[in-house]
Structure 1
Amino acid sequence: MVIRTARVASKIARGRAPQIVQTTAFLCAAVPLRGGPSAELRGPIPSGRLLVSDVLAIPLRQQARFGLCRALMVVNDAAVDTQRLSIRGRILEPDQPALQDALAAVYETPERPRCLCVPGGVEMYVAFHRRYLAKRMPETGSQHHPACPSFEPSPQQSGLGELVGDAVRESEGAVELRVDFAWSRQAGGKALGRRTDDDPGEIEAPRRRMSLRALTHFLFERAGFNRWSPAMSGKRSQGVLHKYLQRAAEQVRAKGVVLGERLYVPEQFNEATHAEAARRRRERLGVLRPHDGVAPLAVALAEFKAAEAFPGGYRIWLKHMPDAPLLASAKTWERIARTYAAVLEARDADHGQRVRAVITALIRARREHTYEIDTATLLLASDQWIPVEGVHELPLLQALVDAGRYFVKPLRYDARCAAAFANALLLDTGAVPLPLHVYSPFMTPREREAKAATLRAAGGGWVWSTDEPMHALPPAAPRRA
């Protein structure tokens, strides 16, 4: 007999199921993980006595952005799943064959599937990408339970809140961005796409536009790299970064251009397949070929490796791209190095942890197959590719990873002061995310006041100062199914 999660939980609530169960279990799941591609997990769970709450905690979280995945554990004929959907009165789970037919039946109709992670459920919509998927409705992420893979914090808990509805407009299955850079330049270097008339026919109300840094944060968040669960451990390789960032850009448009067609993230370097990967890179960046006196631009996003001076300026070397550096004039790179000195210096700081410098650059082709930096931004990321504002956040994030916690890292985007946001949001402590805050002696007075104002508004919270030993993290609640 198969007992689904809801029935197990219901029996526990009514006191009709033992809190301790005898287990002789075997885990077998084909899981498209948030941190990487599909992987088959198999392995015995030692016989013994387990809390039922521990049994319910074992399933892996499904990938929310790119579809439903399956994480199934069999424990003495009890099956535990990660998400249930209500469709036309039927309750369906990701592993059921009937789910595809049910989603197809309501595709492009006014009917909505409902995610049952909270009482009453939350409306979803159906998309089709090689198969039918139930996806989160725009601006409903915070209505889901924090343990639900469709959960997202409110945009106001990060710099995204300043951009939603203005620079970021989302409809079902598509996103339109307003960015503060052009997609092309004239032969003389002047950006195209902005009016300079002294006597314009109309005046447009000022609206926010996203910088390259905000665009980078948007892609990382859309791809799920600011979110962590234990299932992602050891799975965030360059290949995973390439796959999910490129996929995140597929349904995003900026100034009428599909971002996925202008984004290049290097593939993971492999000596055996390097020539083929280089050919694919040249094909993708073929979009940079000039036409009619116009030089198109594209976005290159990669981990920064080194800058090497040469008589014509600087070669900017990117990891996993050893044969094709980006080029920059001496003036351009020296300005970038001054502006982002803290990011570049962080790689040499004595913090005992690996930190990555991520560069996002608008590039153009001055000559055949030469890629020159037009505009660039640099930001820090942890070893797990979680964007951070500074090295002061690294010990907290590493402690959360080591403790096997579920959390989200709020991102700054274009906010003036990142200290106004929590440094991490725990997703495994209950019905609402729990903010964690970090103080650093190197914070500016403005940053310290912004952090203090946030804590006052919240009535306090978990706070750690980096000049003191880190105190205990808030305990995790039993995982929900």
Structure 2
Amino acid sequence: MYGFRFEDVIVDDDAAADDLQAHLADAHGGKARPLCMCTPAGVPMYVAKVGEHYVIKRMPNTGGTHAPDCASYEPPAELSGLGEVKGEAIQENIEDGVTTLRLDFSLSKTGARIAPAPSGEAADTVRTDGAKLTLRGTLHYLWEEAGLNRWYPAMAGTRSWYVVRKFLLQAAAGKVSKGEPLGRSLYVPESYSQDNAAGITQRRIAHMAALAASGKTRKLMIAIGEVKEIAESRYGFKIVAKHLPDFPFMLSEELHLRLQKRFENELALWDSIEDSHLTFISTFGVGPTGIASIETLAVMVVSVNWIPFEHAYDKLMLDALTVQKRRFVKGLRYNLAENKPLACAVLADVLPKPVALYVQPPGIEQEDEDALSKLIGESDIPSWIWRAGEAMPELPLPSHDSASPGSSLHRRVPPRLSAPMLLAQKEGPESAW
């Protein structure tokens, strides 16, 4: 199994937690880097301290050097929108383990300033040069950091809102924006329970207490949740989140109109695909009455397994991969313009090199074909294309080693921050933050 080498000692996840923490603590204070043993030579990692615990993390820009079936493997950034923002909007410091995010939206509001259009619209994406994360880009980043864009067969039936929330909060740990911990500004609703409703409400109020401060400048927070309904209210509209029945997020009629226009495709997919979920990310404030009002908003449609998709052909691709029990990483767009190509997914069960899967919807322009050809030509990994106006070609077969009982598909992944294999573990009692 893939363990970690600490100088002359290899430690795996069968080791006691205290023993592993001792090795991590020594590595954190030493000069020698631990190695992930997914390759014969090992891949350097680094150790960060999060709260009172030490975690082992992938070194920046080394995701492609890990074995494709390793939890630390990351497809080449240029195959998704990550390549545009990595190193500028997302800056990782391996000395202290802190990742600094540059956001293109504000977490404060002065006076009666009118909220900008929902993040992610075409004009916004053109304006953003990769130096800052849009609201949609922030959601995609946290989704990827949480491992929610990764899939392997043993995950079937294990993902719930409890799991999604748990790993989103873990993904936010160690992230800062303008010197402030992102976790303080992030609200993700707890799984609702009638028996625990009072406690859930009290924790929500406590977490949002800073929003109630009076003054010329009001603080805002980021909310991530699943949409239950978008409905009319007495003076506008509201988003009711699942697991949050008694705390709607209000939005103005103007913002609602812009939502309907900008995210028409996402709303149509959610409406037509029964087992899909519609997730939202917003900045919001809380007024003197305790009511939440949305300032900026973006939405993302995800499959029954919480994997994002952009159109029906994307969804068919995900369904085919899931039915065939394949291991893959879904590409996310971040700030990337809608007309820019990206890999739908990368097959991680094909060795020694994974395969990038591309889906071309019917009716695309020649310039789109040229852009895809350029992307494929500049990539070092093999490609597979489905032009959705034609029958789907046979997918590349999984390598024998990646599907055998001795492969990492059948092992527990060593403890590491945001390891997606942990999603398959049994859920325990939930805590708020």
Is TM (by shorter chain) over 0.5?
A: yes
Conservation of the 8 A alpha-carbon contact between 1:262 and 1:287:
no
Report the CA distance shift for 1:368/1:448 in structure 2 as closer, same or farther (over 3 A).
Answer: farther
Aligned equivalents of 1:242 and 1:213: distance in 2? 17
Find the counterpart in structure 2 of residue 167 from structure 1: 89
Q: State the partner residue of 1:210.
A: 133
* Contact kept in structure 1, 2:110 and 2:217, CA below 8 Å: yes
Shift of 1:475: 0.9
Aligned to 1:434: 355
Q: Which residue of 1 aligns with 2:104?
A: 180
RMSD of equivalent CA atoms: 2.2
Partner of 1:245: 168
* Alpha carbons 1:417, 1:447 under 8 Å: kept: no
* Bigger mean CA deviation after superposition, 266-275 or 447-456: 447-456
For residue 8 of structure 2, the aligned residue among 74, 89, 103 is 89
Letter in 2 for 1:475: L
Offset of 1:287 from its aligned partner?
Answer: 2.4
**Offset at 1:460?**
7.4
Is 1:300 aligned to residue 223 of structure 2?
yes
Tell me, in whole angstroms, the C-alpha distance in 1 between the residues paired with 2:237 and 2:384: 45
- 1:335 paired to 2:254: no
Distance 1:367 1:163 in 2: 37
| Cα distance per residue 1:252-308 (max 9 Å; x no partner) | 111222111111111112222222212211221222113322211101111122222
The whole-number CA distance in structure 2 between the counterparts of 1:99 and 1:316 is 44
Assess, with a 3 A threshold, how the Cα gap between structure 1 residues 301 and 444 changes in structure 2: closer, same or farther: farther
Instruction: Tell me what 1:11 maps to.
Output: none
Structure 1 stretches of 5 or more lacking a match? Answer: 1-80, 192-205
- From 298, 301, 318, the counterpart of 1:397: 318
**Structure 2 counterpart of 1:134:** 56
Following TM superposition, by how much is the alpha carbon of 1:369 offset from its aligned partner in structure 2, in angstroms? Answer: 1.5
Q: What does residue range 282-301 of structure 1 map to in structure 2 within 5 Å?
A: 282-301=205-224
Q: Which residue identity lines up with residue 195 of structure 2 in the other structure?
A: A
Partner of 1:24: none
Q: String of CA shifts for 1:133-162, please: whole Å, max 9, x gaps.
A: 322112211111111111112222211111
Task: Work out whether residues 346 and 357 of structure 2, in 8 Å CA contact, stay in contact via their aligned partners in 1.
Answer: yes
Tell me the residue number matched to 1:228: 151
Using the TM superposition, give the Cα deviation of residue 339 of structure 1 relative to its aligned residue in structure 2, in angstroms.
1.1
State whether residues 84 and 130 of structure 2, in contact with CA within 8 Å, keep that contact through their aligned partners in structure 1: no
Residue 373 (str. 1) matches residue 294 (str. 2): yes
Shift of 1:443: 4.3
C-alpha spacing 1:297/1:131, structure 2 compared with 1 (3 Å): closer
Q: What's the secondary structure of 1:372's corresponding residue?
A: strand
User: Aligned residue for 1:279?
Assistant: 202
The AA in structure 2 aligned to 1:94 is D
Contact map agreement 2:343 2:358 (CA 8 A) in 1: yes
CA distance in structure 1 between the partners assigned to 2:131 and 2:56 by the alignment: 31
Q: Secondary structure of the equivalent of 2:202?
A: helix
Q: Is the contact made by 1:389 and 1:418 (CA closer than 8 Å) also made in structure 2?
A: no
Determine the structure 2 residue equivalent to 1:106. Answer: 27
**Could you list the per-position Cα deviations for residues 378-422 of structure 1 after superposition, in whole angstroms to 9, with x for gaps in the alignment?**
122111111222222111112212222111011110011465211
Write the deviation string for residues 74-127 of structure 1: whole angstroms up to 9, x where unpaired: xxxxxxx3x222212222222124544333322222111111211311111123
What is the SS of the residue equivalent to 1:208? Answer: coil
Q: CA deviation at 1:447?
A: 3.9
Tell me, yes or no, if the aligned pair for 1:355 and 1:380 is still in contact at 8 Å.
yes
Once the two structures are TM-superposed, the CA of residue 446 in structure 1 deviates from its matched residue by: 4.9
The verdict on how the C-alpha distance between 1:225 and 1:154 changes in structure 2, with shifts beyond 3 A counting, is: same
Secondary structure at the counterpart of residue 322 of structure 1:
coil
Check conservation: 1:419, 1:448, Cα contact below 8 A.
no
Please point out which of 234, 237, 243 is paired with 1:311.
234
Please name the residue that 2:76 is paired with. Answer: 154
Q: Alignment identity in percent?
A: 33
Q: What corresponds to 2:415 in structure 1?
A: none
CA distance in 2, matches of 1:124, 1:418: 36
Alpha-carbon spacing, 1:109–1:344, altered in 2? closer, same or farther (3 Å): same
Pair 122,338 (structure 1): closer, same or farther in 2 beyond 3 Å: same
Distance apart, 1:362 and its partner CA: 0.6
Output one character per residue of 1:7-44: Cα deviation in whole Å (capped at 9) or x when no partner.
xxxxxxxxxxxxxxxxxxxxxxxxxxxxxxxxxxxxxx
Compare the two structures and name the one with the higher helix fraction: 2
Say if 2:410 is the partner of 1:410: no
Question: Is contact 2:354-2:382 (8 Å) kept?
Answer: no
Counterpart residue identity of residue 379, structure 1: M
Which segment is superposed worse, 95-104 or 231-240? 95-104
The answer to whether the 8 A contact 2:49-2:55 is kept is: yes
Q: How many residues align?
A: 384
Structure 2 CA distance for aligned equivalents of residues 377 and 165 of structure 1: 24
Q: Aligned with 2:64: secondary structure?
A: helix
Distance 1:328 1:100, change over 3 A: closer
Asked which structure has the greater CA Rg, the reply is 1
Matched letter for residue 89 of structure 1: D
What is the CA distance between 1:457 and its match in structure 2?
Answer: 4.7
Runs of 5+ unmatched residues, structure 2: 116-128, 409-433
